[in-house]
Amino acid sequence: MLAKRIIPCLDIKDGQTVKGINFVGIKAVGDPVELGALYAEQGADELVFLDITATHEGRKTFVELVKKIAREINIPFTVGGGISTIQDAEALLNAGADKVSINSSAVRNPQLINDMALNFGTQFVVVAIDAKNYDERWTVTVNGGRIPTDKELFSWAKEAEDRGAGEILFTSMDHDGTKNGFANKELAKMADMLKIPIIASGGAGNMEHFVDVFTKGKADAGLAASIFHYKEIAIPDLKSFLNGKDIAVRL
């Protein structure tokens, strides 16, 4: 059985790690390179760095940051935010990222998934999906959750897999930052539909939530931010707890 992964997520704005609730109320919480190195030392399996206000002008700054991260950190890491071309992805992979995550750009131009999978291999391509439940329909959103689209969560996840995504990173906007647990029903439905790994994001508040996301939600990885940034849960304690619940983790 494959070990379940614990993935801290670092949202980057102006070179600093930040955190919000339901995608708003952003506060700075520390230096991304230092935080990433700390999590790697503590036993995180992977890291995700998202440039949440990525613009064309900010791309060079982020590439430099990725180079620093690659020098300091010895575990796989994914970067995302504003990646809309093969050249954007190539610059970040060349800077040392292990995988790239695409979200709004994939919704607007689904062919980008095919092109990236063809150019770099499916294992490098993570399709992130931010979705919100509107009247019992899970609607895919873009622009950091600000704009609803005509795409539906499950059909879009399947299309992303068919086009060459190597992983899906699903964030439930209804759960994000609430610390009330992950969207396990939706995650389990997705896991039954897809063959590729699913990273669950949005809602982690305690260790039991990770037990639930790996058992009820059938997720391959659990991603969280504030509980790690604010030292509410230490990664070694979480892994030890999961191990005690017979959930396979790398200790």
Residue 150 to residues 59, 107, 131, 155, 167, Cα–Cα distance (Å): 29, 10, 11, 11, 22
Active site residue 11: yes
Q: Distance between CA atoms of 168 and 156, rounded to whole angstroms?
A: 10
Distance of CA 238 to the CA centre of its chain: 19
Q: Which of 46, 56, 45 lies closest to 87 in space, CA to CA?
A: 56
191 token code pair: 């896991």
Active site residue 130: yes
User: Which listed residue (88, 130, 212, 220) is catalytic?
Assistant: 130
User: Which listed residue (11, 176, 212, 220) is catalytic?
Assistant: 11
Lookup result for tokens 């399996």: 45
Q: Which of 107, 95, 97, 118 lies closest to 141 in space, CA to CA?
A: 107
The residues carrying an active-site annotation are 11, 130
